[in-house]
Amino acid sequence: MVTLCRPAVAVPEHVITLDDTLRLARDLHASHDQLPLVLRLIKNTQVAKRHLVQPIETTLKHPGFEQRNAVYVREAKARLPDVVARALVHAELAADRIDAIVFVSCTGFTMPSLIPWMINELEFRSDTRQLPIAQMGCAAGGAAINRAHDFCLAYPGAHVLVVACEFCSLCYQPTDLDVGNLLSNGLFGDAIAAAVVRGNGGSGLRVLGNGSRLVRDTEDWISYAVKATGFHFQLDRRVPGTMEQLAPELRSVAAEYGWDAGALDFYIVHAGGPRILDDLSHFLGVESGMFRHSRATLTEYGNIASAVVLDALGRLFEAGGVAQGARGLMAGFGPGITAEITLGTWFGPSASRKPRSHHLIGKEATT
């Protein structure tokens, strides 16, 4: 059985609170004609604090794309070794047991990817397969898990390391003043996360299957404009409402395995914002509390892009897991509009409670 083991997560040491963000918005955009709306939207994100790779004073300056990307590489190389080492410990594997590495990021660019550097510096084998994913945004965390699962199915017994490295603050653009971008300035945070998908052995989420779904004709709803100053994030105002279209897709993937997506024991989904979680709760017919781990990630770290699903899964481990055999769904959402969906059963640290009766899910509050 293929098992997604406990993730390791790290956030940078520089912290910006909600109050800090609101104060900066007032100071920097005092003359903006929609400032009251921006402040209200930032408050509604429910993000209490975020972590940044640089002090906020440095973050607000734009020295140019070249220097920013140099910061991305420097900070990634400084922070990746510890996170990767902890993920390997959680999986009870040495680096030389890893057969492939999936590296996902949308906030910096290198060629080659950082995988060759990791292989050279962190004692992975030279024949380790490489799969960098750079253009799936927040959905890439789910895609990484699913591609690792696919690899383990193709090569039984193989083990795959998944790494998400997101420094969203390095994409701050001081000249982007539309409401969506000003909201993004108060939503996104920085983090690195890693986890091992074992082809055999280990404990955690036993992966049953995965699926990918695209909402047609929405490829320009979440995108980058690539300019001399770097990546300019573009967000269509219709994006928060896409759960009405994606919830049926989650049901479709679950139904392929005979499951009801609205009647599962746990959910780990991308917390792009509170409305995403609220709408998913509504359209799947499950209690809001079922998304508590994703909400905790949003509250404590903000939207950390592809690292969200790994951090939220880590919180499930920290909470003691769920009962053995409990059924769950993971989902990452991002550009496309794309959903990357993973189904699995719990085979790890076990909470004392038994799995809920599946027909009652959505009608009971969780604690």
pTM: 0.92
Same domain assignment for residues 322 and 232:
yes
pLDDT value of residue 235: 80
pLDDT at 126: 98
Q: Are residues 159 and 251 in the same domain?
A: no
Identify the pLDDT of residue 242.
86
For 146, what's the count of Cα atoms within 13 Å in the CB-facing half-sphere?
23
Q: Which residue has the tokens 């699926």?
A: 211
248 shares a domain with 178? no
Please tell me the predicted confidence (pLDDT) of residue 350.
61
Is 228 within the bounds of a domain?
A: yes
pLDDT of residue 362: 30
Q: Is residue 147 part of a domain?
A: yes
Same domain, 229 and 133: no
Q: Which residues does residue 331 pair with via DSSP β-bridges, in sequence order?
A: 269, 341
Whether residue 84 sits in one domain with residue 103: yes
Q: What is the pLDDT along the chain (367 residues), one digit of tens a residue?
A: 999 999 999 999 999 999 999 999 999 999 999 999 999 999 999 999 999 999 999 999 999 999 999 999 999 999 999 999 999 999 999 999 999 999 999 999 999 999 999 999 999 999 999 999 999 999 999 999 999 999 999 999 999 999 999 999 999 999 999 998 899 999 999 999 999 999 999 999 999 999 999 999 989 888 888 888 988 888 888 887 888 899 999 999 999 999 999 999 999 999 888 999 999 999 999 999 999 999 999 999 999 999 999 999 999 999 999 999 999 999 999 998 999 999 999 998 765 444 433 322 232 222 2
- 85 assigned to some structural domain: yes
222 and 262, same domain (yes or no): yes
State the greatest distance between any 2 C-alpha atoms of the chain, in Å, as a whole number. Answer: 60
- Do 329 and 180 lie in a common domain? no
My answer on whether 351 and 215 are in the same domain is yes
Whether residue 72 is contained in a domain is answered as yes
Q: What string of H, E and C letters represents the secondary structure of the chain?
A: CCEECCCEEECCCEEEEHHHHHHHHHHHCCCCCCHHHHHHHHHHCCCCEEEECCCHHHHCCCCCHHHHHHHHHHHHHHHHHHHHHHHHHHHCCCHHHCCEEEEECCCCCCCCCHHHHHHHHCCCCCCCEEEEECCCHHHHHHHHHHHHHHHHHHCCCCEEEEEEEEEHHHHCCCCCCCHHHHHHCCCECEEEEEEEEECCCCCEEEEEEEEEEEEEEECCCEEEEEECCEEEEEECCCHHHCHHHHHHHHHHHHHCCCCCCCCCCEEEECCCCHHHHHHHHHHHCCCHHHHHHHHHHHHHHCECHHHHHHHHHHHHHHCCCCCCCCEEEEEEEECEEEEEEEEEEEECCCCCCCCCCHHHCCCCCCC
Based on the domain organization, do 170 and 130 belong to the same domain? yes
Let me know if residue 236 belongs to a domain. yes
Helices 65-91 and 114-121, axial angle in degrees (round to 10): 50
pLDDT in the model for residue 233: 86
The whole-number pLDDT of residue 364 equals 27
Please check whether residue 366 lies inside any domain of the structure.
no
Whether residue 189 lies inside any domain: the answer is yes
Of 198, 219, 250, the residue that ends a domain is 198
Instruction: Report, in angstroms and rounded to the nearest whole number, the Rg of the chain calculated over CA atoms.
Output: 20
**What is the Cα–Cα distance from 224 to 213, expressed in whole angstroms?**
21
Task: Return d(Cα 205, Cα 313) in angstroms, integer.
Answer: 9
- Number of structural domains (the chain) is 2
Q: Which of 183, 198, 213 is the last residue of a domain?
A: 198
CATH code at 31? 3.40.47.10
Picking from 198, 233, 256, the residue at the C-terminal end of a domain is 198
Residues 55 and 88 grouped into a single domain: yes
Are 233 and 163 found together in one domain? no
Q: Is residue 367 part of a domain?
A: no
Task: List residues with catalytic annotation.
Answer: 138
229 & 132 share domain: no
Residues spanned by the domain of 140:
3-198
